Amino acid sequence: MSISANSLIEGLVEELEPVRTLKPKSGLAIVGGLTLFALIVVAATLGVRNDLMMGMADEMFFLRSGVLLMLGIATAITVVNMARPGVGKLSRGWIWALITAALFPLTAAIMSAINMPPVEALRPMEGLKCLAVSGIAALTIGGGLTYWLRQGAPTSPERAGWLIGIASGALGAAAYNIHCPFNDIYYIGLWFTIPVVISAVLGRLVVPALIRW
């Protein structure tokens, strides 16, 4: 061993303190807590959709909630596991959740090709509100995930950026989803997809620089 390596090791040993190992469940608790917080804020400020309040929610609400939560949870689990690296640990399960979620915009695109919906069906004003609220919720959740990952040793910062963006976008949209009263496929295919896409792109652009080590 070289003299410099020897003295480096002595220095590192000197400053050794006991550490608590990173637990993915703490990362998931942060994500779950922030999603719940966003959900409560949406419910308290904008209100819960009427049919849900009456216990008769439309089936599309359940489909949309399920797909968004599935995508958000699958990607968030992948992200928190990225904090603890290891050769052979690459996880691709989230891709299936993403493909499933893509069925909404895909169906909307096919339906539009068959029968172009009027602009009113896309409800631009309500859609922008959906985008803004989902985006704020996504920023909060994405901030928590990024904070969590900074404590770990992610070895693929770019992939982590995409995944944090997708997870926070999907969970942010899921939080807004309890207020959103619209059930048609055009609206969902457009306004619940855009927040996830924007969040993913922002995650890819912003997060890698914050988590490199």
Partner 1 sequence: MIAHEETFRQLMIKAQGGDKLCYASLLAECEKWLRRYYARKINPAAIDDLVQETLISVHRKRASYDPERPFLPWLAAIGRYRWIDSLRKIYRHEHDQLYEEMVADPQDEDVTAKVSLERLLGMIPARQAEVISLVKIEGLSIIEAAAKTGQSESLVKVNIHRGLKKMSALIESE
The contact set with partner 1 (CB under 8 A) reads 1-2, 4-5, 8-10, 12-22, 83-90, 151-153, 155-156, 158-159, 213
Q: Which is nearer to partner 1, 9 or 103 (CB)?
A: 9
- CA–CA separation, 24 and 77 (whole Å): 8
We find the least distance from the C-beta atom of residue 199 to partner 1, in angstroms, to be 20
Q: Which is nearer to partner 1, 66 or 93 (CB)?
A: 93
Q: Which is nearer to partner 1, 55 or 86 (CB)?
A: 86
- CA–CA separation, 183 and 181 (whole Å): 7
We find the least distance from the C-beta atom of residue 207 to partner 1, in angstroms, to be 15
Q: Minimal CA–CA distance to 80: which of 69, 94, 68, 66?
A: 94
Q: Which is nearer to partner 1, 26 or 50 (CB)?
A: 26
**Are 197 and 161 a contacting pair, CB within 8 Å?**
no
- CA–CA separation, 134 and 145 (whole Å): 16
**Are 133 and 194 a contacting pair, CB within 8 Å?**
no
How many CA within 13 A on the CB side of residue 91?
A: 19
Q: Which is nearer to partner 1, 1 or 119 (CB)?
A: 1
We find the least distance from the C-beta atom of residue 4 to partner 1, in angstroms, to be 7
Residue 153 region by backbone torsions, left for phi larger than 0, else alpha for psi between -120 and 50, else beta: beta
We find the least distance from the C-beta atom of residue 163 to partner 1, in angstroms, to be 12
We find the least distance from the C-beta atom of residue 6 to partner 1, in angstroms, to be 9
**Are 155 and 34 a contacting pair, CB within 8 Å?**
no
